[in-house]
């Protein structure tokens, strides 16, 4: 196969918001307890957080993290997680049928996030609670002193306010499974009023209103229209969620779901524009894709489990073993976010540790990374700057999820200093390598800095990293790509993800 692509310094999509590479972590399964937090673990710090996990998190350079849920947040009382740990109540978590000990609450999590160098993005409970609890939570977190909630925080040893600027207005409120699920208009009104209350605390505060739980929901995209008609002027982002899997064991169709996601983003962009025009609004709303990932390898098994469970504490839930195909998929989805960075400003991989995660941690054991860690890390490290428009010409295929899909999937990012470009290139072809030719216009002195590749080795195809063999699927120095007469030329192996860094003038 042969595929050509071209970029031009002046043909740009948008400045990428760094928060495109954010993450999500929920009080669910072993994400928090025995994931990031495990007092007694050989690497635990004085607060009980695992340093081995923290190190793997830090290497991702994650800009922001959404917390504490997820479905969990819709019946959560944030006040259960503050004050002396020995006085905190144990509660039943209705979302995941588990026992919540509240040993980690906002102050512990804030400390972890600071140690990890990540900004917090907090969700408020609009399922069983509402405006008052949301405003109290913001006051506890953000107000300096001299009020009930701010002085309570200071009494809990946190003198300085956290200054949290990103607030999510509930979670998946369109989903019948959600505790406190609502109709669109009802939720839109509540979100509008809650957002006003949250924003009253300071100028920099931004809010995220819930869009549909995914693009297959019966109320999609009418939900978005109705919700936005109620709250457009008072919110900043609308959330999108989507989980993926190769359930039908058809890899090309799996990869075509990336195009399907592009259409999802485009459709919500259309709804945003429609409501803006209808309301004669002056503000813009962007997309916060605050839950995305691959989730299917053990989904059926887990769903049987959690309804049968007798409220266990931190059960192993959704601990996915990702293979090479999943890593290539994740790289491709991140490429789509880069290509759509004019609309998508924030995106959160869901989740971060143990639960559908790039990082795994054995209880009282080792921490290690799954295959999807690598493309996520490359995108986070090198995908910052300006997204360039990439024109692609090459072989195509039709699939159920989308038609006329390119085998060659490319995104290109010009670094903020304008001196380097990172090209993320995928050959979706299962067995055939692809002759790659990338023309760079408006750039001089193009030189290859680095080429890292995953794939191209059929023995990797169906295996997954494990605690014992955490390096089975990992990037290796790429071969077969060179800069010739200012263009990138070479071969992308079959079924491969490639991160190509170039220095330019
Ligand atoms: O990430 C797991 C769950 O998926 C979240 O709790 C929920 O928001 C979504 O349905």
In this structure, what CATH number is given to the domain that contains residue 423? 2.60.40.1180
Catalytic: 319? no
Same domain for 449 and 301?
no
Alpha helix positions (H), 398-452: none
Packing angle between helix 222-231 and helix 184-199, nearest 10 degrees?
40
Pocket perturbation via mutation, ligand 1, pick of 171, 290, 295 by most ligand atoms within 8 A of CB? 171
Among candidate residues 382, 406, 431, the one where a domain is terminated: 382
- Three-state DSSP at 167 gives strand
What's the length of the chain?
505
Atom of ligand 1 nearest to the CA of 177: 10
pLDDT value for 306: 67
Catalytic residue among 79, 100, 172, 460: 172
Centre of ligand 1 to C-alpha 75, Å, is 14
Pocket perturbation via mutation, ligand 1, pick of 73, 180, 291, 315 by most ligand atoms within 8 A of CB? 291
Atom of ligand 1 nearest to the CA of 172: 8
Same domain for 346 and 403?
no
- Which one, of 300, 378, 282, 298, lies nearest residue 338 by Cα? 378
Q: Whose CA is nearest to atom 3 of ligand 1?
A: 70
Same domain for 84 and 161?
yes
pLDDT value for 10: 97
Same domain for 455 and 360?
no
Same domain for 81 and 151?
yes
Same domain for 207 and 244?
yes
Same domain for 377 and 395?
no
Distance of alpha carbon 419 from alpha carbon 447, whole angstroms: 11
DSSP state letter for 386: E
Centre of ligand 1 to C-alpha 71, Å, is 6
Q: What pLDDT tens digit does each residue of the chain (505 aa) get?
A: 999 999 999 999 999 999 999 999 999 999 999 999 999 999 999 999 999 999 999 999 999 999 999 999 999 999 999 999 999 999 999 999 999 999 999 999 999 999 999 999 999 999 999 999 999 999 999 999 999 999 999 999 999 999 999 999 999 999 999 999 999 999 999 999 999 999 999 999 999 999 999 999 999 999 999 999 999 999 999 999 999 999 999 999 999 999 999 999 999 999 999 999 999 999 999 999 999 999 988 777 777 766 667 899 999 999 999 999 999 999 999 999 999 999 999 999 999 999 999 999 999 999 999 999 999 999 999 999 999 999 999 999 999 999 999 999 999 999 999 999 999 999 999 999 999 999 999 999 999 999 999 996 655 667 899 999 999 999 999 999 999 999 999 999 999 999 999 999 9
Cα-trace Rg, the chain: 23
Pocket perturbation via mutation, ligand 1, pick of 71, 241, 292, 356 by most ligand atoms within 8 A of CB? 71
Q: Which residue has the tokens 């457009």?
A: 232
Q: Whose CA is nearest to atom 8 of ligand 1?
A: 70
Beta strand pairing status for 420-427 and 434-441?
A: unpaired
Catalytic: 172? yes
Same domain for 405 and 261?
no
The pair of three-digit structure tokens given for residue 3, joined into one six-digit string: 């595929």
**Ranges assigned E (strand) in 115-213:** 119-124, 166-169, 206-209
Centre of ligand 1 to C-alpha 3, Å, is 38
Distance of alpha carbon 383 from alpha carbon 168, whole angstroms: 25
Same domain for 438 and 374?
no
Atom of ligand 1 nearest to the CA of 69: 6
Catalytic residue among 79, 259, 291, 325: 291
Pocket perturbation via mutation, ligand 1, pick of 241, 289, 349 by most ligand atoms within 8 A of CB? 241
- Which one, of 433, 437, 481, lies nearest residue 457 by Cα? 433
Atom of ligand 1 nearest to the CA of 26: 6
Beta strand pairing status for 367-369 and 359-361?
A: antiparallel
Number of domains observed in the structure of the chain: 2
Q: What are the residues whose beta carbons fall under 8 Å from the beta carbon of 93, sequence distance 6 or more?
A: 27, 28, 72, 75, 76, 99, 100
Question: What number of H helices and E strands is found in the chain?
Answer: 10, 26
Distance of alpha carbon 51 from alpha carbon 119, whole angstroms: 18
Ligand 1 binding residues, C-beta < 6 A: 26, 69-71, 171-172, 213, 291, 350-351
Same domain for 272 and 329?
yes
Q: Whose CA is nearest to atom 7 of ligand 1?
A: 70
Alpha helix positions (H), 184-282: 184-199, 222-231, 251-279
Q: Whose CA is nearest to atom 1 of ligand 1?
A: 350
pLDDT value for 274: 98
The domain spanning residue 216 has which CATH number? 3.20.20.80
- Which one, of 2, 54, 6, 60, lies nearest residue 410 by Cα? 6
**Ranges assigned E (strand) in 125-235:** 166-169, 206-209
Atom of ligand 1 nearest to the CA of 318: 2
Atom of ligand 1 nearest to the CA of 96: 6
Range of the domain at 222: 17-382
Cβ atoms of 54 and 106 within 8 Å: the answer is no
Among candidate residues 328, 361, 382, the one where a domain is terminated: 382
Distance of alpha carbon 227 from alpha carbon 255, whole angstroms: 31
Centre of ligand 1 to C-alpha 292, Å, is 9
Among candidate residues 382, 401, 436, the one where a domain is terminated: 382
Neighbours of 482 (CB within 10 A): 11
φ/ψ of 461, rounded to 5, equals -55, -50
Q: Which residue has the tokens 């995660």?
A: 357
Same domain for 239 and 272?
yes
Model pTM score: 0.97
Distance of alpha carbon 250 from alpha carbon 241, whole angstroms: 22
Centre of ligand 1 to C-alpha 70, Å, is 5
């Amino acid at each position: 196969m042969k595929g050509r692509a071209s970029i031009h310094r002046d043909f740009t999509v948008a400045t990428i918001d760094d928060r495109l590479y954010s993450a999500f972590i929920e009080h669910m399964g072993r994400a928090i307890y025995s994931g990031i937090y495990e007092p007694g673990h050989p690497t635990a710090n004085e607060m009980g957080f695992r340093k081995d996990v923290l190190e793997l998190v830090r290497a991702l350079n994650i800009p922001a993290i959404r917390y504490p849920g997820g479905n969990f947040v819709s019946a959560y009382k944030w006040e259960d997680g503050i004050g002396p740990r020995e006085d905190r109540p144990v509660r039943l978590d209705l979302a995941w049928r588990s026992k919540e000990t509240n040993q980690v609450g906002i102050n512990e999590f804030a400390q972890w996030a600071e140690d990890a160098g990540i900004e917090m993005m907090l969700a408020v409970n609009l399922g069983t609670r509402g405006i008052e609890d949301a405003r109290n939570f913001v006051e506890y977190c953000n107000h300096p002193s001299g009020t009930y909630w701010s002085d309570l925080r200071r009494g809990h040893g946190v003198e300085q306010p956290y200054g949290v600027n990103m607030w999510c207005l509930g979670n998946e409120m369109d989903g019948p499974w959600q505790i406190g699920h609502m109709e669109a208009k009802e939720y839109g009104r509540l979100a509008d009023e809650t957002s006003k209350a949250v924003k009253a605390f300071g100028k920099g505060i931004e809010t995220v209103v819930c869009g549909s739980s995914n693009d297959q929901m019966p109320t999609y995209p009418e939900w978005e229209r109705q919700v936005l008609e109620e709250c457009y002027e008072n919110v900043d982002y609308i959330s999108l969620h989507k989980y993926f899997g190769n359930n039908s064991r058809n890899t090309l169709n799996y990869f075509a779901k990336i195009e399907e996601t592009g259409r999802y983003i485009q459709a919500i962009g259309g709804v945003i524009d429609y409501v803006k025009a209808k309301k004669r609004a002056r503000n813009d709303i962007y997309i916060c894709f605050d839950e995305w990932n691959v989730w299917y390898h053990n989904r059926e098994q887990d769903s049987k489990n959690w309804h049968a469970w007798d409220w266990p504490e931190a059960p192993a839930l959704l601990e996915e073993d990702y293979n090479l195909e999943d890593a290539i998929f994740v790289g491709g989805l991140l490429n789509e976010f880069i290509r759509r960075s004019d609309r998508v400003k924030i995106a959160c991989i869901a989740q971060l540790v143990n639960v559908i995660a790039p990082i795994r941690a054995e209880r009282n054991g080792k921490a290690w990374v799954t295959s999807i860690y690598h493309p996520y890390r490359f995108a986070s490290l090198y995908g910052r700057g300006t997204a360039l428009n990439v024109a692609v010409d090459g072989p195509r295929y039709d699939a159920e999820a989308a038609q006329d899909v390119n085998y060659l999937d490319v995104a290109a990012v010009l670094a903020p200093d304008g001196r380097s470009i990172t090209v993320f290139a995928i050959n979706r072809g299962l067995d055939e390598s692809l002759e790659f030719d990338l023309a760079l216009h408006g750039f001089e002195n193009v030189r290859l800095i680095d080429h890292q590749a995953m794939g191209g080795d059929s023995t990797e195809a169906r295996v997954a990293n494990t605690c014992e063999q955490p390096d089975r699927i990992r990037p290796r120095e790429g071969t077969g790509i060179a800069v010739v007469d200012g263009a990138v030329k070479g071969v992308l192996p079959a079924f491969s993800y490639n991160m190509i860094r170039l220095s330019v003038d």
